Structure 1
Amino acid sequence: MVGHEERLKEKSKGLKSKFEKKLLFFEIMEKWIHHFERWIHEQPKEQLYTTILVVVTTFLIVVIYRILNRSQRNTIVLSGLSGGGKTILFYQLRDGTPHQGTVTSMEPNIGTFVLHSELEKKGKIKPIHLVDVPGHSRLRPMLDDFLPKAAGIIFVVDALDFLPNCRAAAEYLYDILTKSSVVRKKVPVLILCNKTDKVTAHSKEFIRKQLEKEIDKLRTSRTAVSSADVTNEYTLGVPSEVFTFSQCHNKVVVADASGLTGEVSQVEQFIREHVKP
């Protein structure tokens, strides 16, 4: 019985302590409010109006910026080595034709449009902002201008002429997958095996496995480089485990397509998963 009474006393002390803390908090808040009201009354009206105007304007700028920033997330970036067929894919998605006779791009192809396959659809459809970044090594830094706004990245691989370019493709893909603008926002990546309509083209499963092997080698070699020479902020994979794309910070999927024949349904599916109609 005595123990029960002691517990009740301790509980009442605890409640009293909490009440006193809340009371003290409200007293402090009341003093701050009183000081703030007095400060307002002491200010010249012109200065007060200016302060209010600045605060309201700043708030509106922040809100508008966030709205615009969200609306810009309809950008899809086409990247990959030269000769992979990025430009043909760009025209297929926009016009429904490969525009045969295109040459290697030296400037980005940029367009905002509704996918050609959706032109006949009824209702409002959100256009995509598609950027085809040249694959030449000297022009790849252009990629950094578009990645911060990317809703998705399509990395185009030449499935017909893959093996001679496997190492170079893996290096380029490694750089993309370790960029802070891609990792922090978890930008999804589609590895697109193009030209799969050709009989001698490699399968997407073969290409995926070969790229994973090459990236696994790159992890080892680049980890050995001194931190002063490493430009990437992130590393790939799990230490002491063989690398697979499933270990990436962002979602990486592999698909196939043929820009020349117009078989781009998997590309369009990827785009619409990340740029809602």
Structure 2
Amino acid sequence: MDKEKVEQLKIQMQQWLNEAEEFINHIPPVQLYTAVGVVLFTLILLLIIRLFKRTTSNTIILTGLSGSGKTYLFYQLRDGSAHQGTVTSMEPNEDSFILHSEKDKKGKLKLVHIVDVPGHSRLRPKLDEFLPQAAGVVFVVDSVEFLPNFRPASEYLYEILTKASVVKKKVPVLLLCNKVDKVTAHTAEFIRKQLEKEIDKLRTSRTAVSDADISNEYTLGVPGEPFAFSQCHNSIIIAEASGLTGEISQLEKFIRENVKP
């Protein structure tokens, strides 16, 4: 653009500014203040609505090791049946629905968006796609096969509890001990204690990791004290369930506490 065109543009802009100033000067002060007030009120209202929408997510994530029974729970929540729950998921099961136990209730109910994230170690990065939207995380543990798997389960749970997307938003986590209908199932209290002990070892060993590797993590617990879930910034709840028999009342309670009807 040559200098002559630049000058013409400047002159045109100055004319527009002068016309705008003259127009404003002819508006009675009361009308002007009212108009400004309406604009400000509208902007504030839009901001509040946007913030409110951010904090009212309806997404609940089911995660945990492969074989813990997440897919059973997914179908129980949606259909009241464990059908199709015997196949190990290789892709996230994802759907929005009214909880099956609430289908006969009257009144408006908010849809729940349930995401069943595969537990295979190579597929876990998919979890990061959904965590920023989570209203709650359900970490499912196989109560029967807990002892052979408690170390990898502890490592996976540790990763979740130290993620910035969980800690910053204080996303509540339900530690769900599944398959409690089995005679050989371990109690929720036993599982809690073992996980706390193993996570305590993990946070000690990971202090040797370089700052670059833990830049997106948060430390757990209180320095100098044994780790306990009660020390976490977000709420950690321990409950029991049986996806096979449909005993999922504690899971449904957790969901509705975090996804209001």
TM range (shorter): 0.7 to 0.9
Spell out, residue by residue over 1:150-169, the C-alpha distance to the aligned partner (whole angstroms, 9 max, x if none): 11100000001000110000
**Does the aligned pair in 2 maintain the 1:175–1:232 contact within 8 Å?**
no
Aligned CA-pair RMSD: 2.5
Q: Give the TM-score normalised by the residue count of structure 2.
A: 0.82
Give the equivalent residue in structure 2 for 1:238. Answer: 222
Residue 262 of structure 1 pairs with residue 246 of structure 2: yes
**Does the aligned pair in 1 maintain the 2:72–2:85 contact within 8 Å?**
no
Q: Give the TM-score normalised by the residue count of structure 1.
A: 0.77
**Does the aligned pair in 2 maintain the 1:78–1:86 contact within 8 Å?**
yes
Residue 200 of structure 1 pairs with residue 184 of structure 2: yes
Question: Mind listing any 5+ residue stretches in structure 1 that lack a counterpart?
Answer: 1-38
CA distance in 2 between counterparts of 1:144 and 1:100 reads 25
Spell out, residue by residue over 1:33-58, the C-alpha distance to the aligned partner (whole angstroms, 9 max, x if none): xxxxxx9983555xx9xxx9xx99x9
Give the equivalent residue in structure 1 for 2:148. Answer: 164
Give the equivalent residue in structure 2 for 1:77. Answer: 61
Alpha-carbon distance change, 95 to 217 in structure 1, aligned in 2, over 3 angstroms: same
Give the equivalent residue in structure 2 for 1:112. Answer: 96
SS at match of 2:113: strand
SS at match of 2:212: helix
**Does the aligned pair in 1 maintain the 2:75–2:85 contact within 8 Å?**
no
- Once superposed, which parts of structure 1, at least 4 consecutive aligned residues long, lie more than 2 Å away? 39-45, 58-71, 228-233
CA distance in 2 between counterparts of 1:157 and 1:43 reads 70
CA distance in 1 between counterparts of 2:170 and 2:78 reads 26
Alpha-carbon distance change, 67 to 244 in structure 1, aligned in 2, over 3 angstroms: closer
Give 1:226 deviation, angstroms: 2.1
**Does the aligned pair in 1 maintain the 2:71–2:85 contact within 8 Å?**
no
**Counterpart mapping for 1:103-252 below 5 A:** 103-252=87-236
Structure 1: which amino acid aligns with 2:17? E
> Identity rate of aligned residues, in percent?
69
Give 1:230 deviation, angstroms: 2.4
**Counterpart mapping for 1:3-14 below 5 A:** none
Give 1:233 deviation, angstroms: 2.4
CA distance in 1 between counterparts of 2:117 and 2:181 reads 24
CA distance in 1 between counterparts of 2:259 and 2:85 reads 30
- Aligned pair count reads 231
CA distance in 1 between counterparts of 2:129 and 2:153 reads 20
Give the equivalent residue in structure 2 for 1:96. Answer: 80
**Does the aligned pair in 2 maintain the 1:77–1:153 contact within 8 Å?**
yes
**Does the aligned pair in 2 maintain the 1:112–1:130 contact within 8 Å?**
yes
**Does the aligned pair in 1 maintain the 2:135–2:259 contact within 8 Å?**
yes
Structure 2: which amino acid aligns with 1:158? D
**Does the aligned pair in 1 maintain the 2:61–2:116 contact within 8 Å?**
yes
**Structure number, greater radius of gyration:** 1
CA distance in 2 between counterparts of 1:244 and 1:132 reads 27
Question: Mind listing any 5+ residue stretches in structure 2 that lack a counterpart?
Answer: 1-13, 24-35
Alpha-carbon distance change, 64 to 225 in structure 1, aligned in 2, over 3 angstroms: same
CA distance in 1 between counterparts of 2:248 and 2:259 reads 16
